[in-house]
């Protein structure tokens, strides 16, 4: 009894002991999620293959002949998308800028 908590009008924004560690773990989980999205690019590849087969319906395409310009354009766009996502995923991951954990210090 007798405890008062500062919740009005706004709770205080104070850094907790594990704030820096939590920020770092959240950032790593976010970037690991990006790699899951990159792995799903196989689904995009399947979609591109379906698009190529669909473009063969157009009169300019020959179902049994060489690939049409539409097919090459579809492949070029899909390849550019795939390479862009992979190169973005390979860039240096940013680091957390929170204060280091002060637990265990001599102060």
Tell me how far CA of residue 58 lies from CA of 4, 54, 62, 70, 77, in angstroms: 74, 8, 8, 9, 19
Q: Indicate the pLDDT class of residue 94, thresholds 50, 70 and 90.
A: low
Domain ranges of the chain: 41-94
Q: Tens digit of pLDDT for each residue in 30-45?
A: 877 877 777 777 777 7
Place of tokens 């539409």: 70
Query: How much is the pTM?
Result: 0.36
pLDDT of residue 100 exceeding 70, the answer is: no
Tokens of 49: 């293959």
44 close to 52: Cβ distance less than 8 angstroms: no
């Amino acid at each position: 009894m007798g405890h008062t908590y500062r919740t009005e009008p706004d709770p205080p924004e104070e850094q907790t002991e594990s704030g820096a560690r939590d920020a770092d773990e959240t950032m790593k989980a976010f970037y690991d999620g990006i790699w899951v999205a990159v792995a799903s690019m196989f689904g995009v590849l399947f979609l591109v293959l379906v698009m190529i087969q669909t473009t063969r319906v157009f009169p300019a395409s020959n179902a049994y002949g060489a690939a049409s310009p539409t097919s090459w354009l579809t492949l070029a766009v899909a390849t550019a998308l795939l390479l862009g996502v992979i190169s973005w995923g390979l860039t240096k991951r940013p680091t957390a800028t929170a204060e280091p954990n002060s637990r265990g210090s001599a102060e």
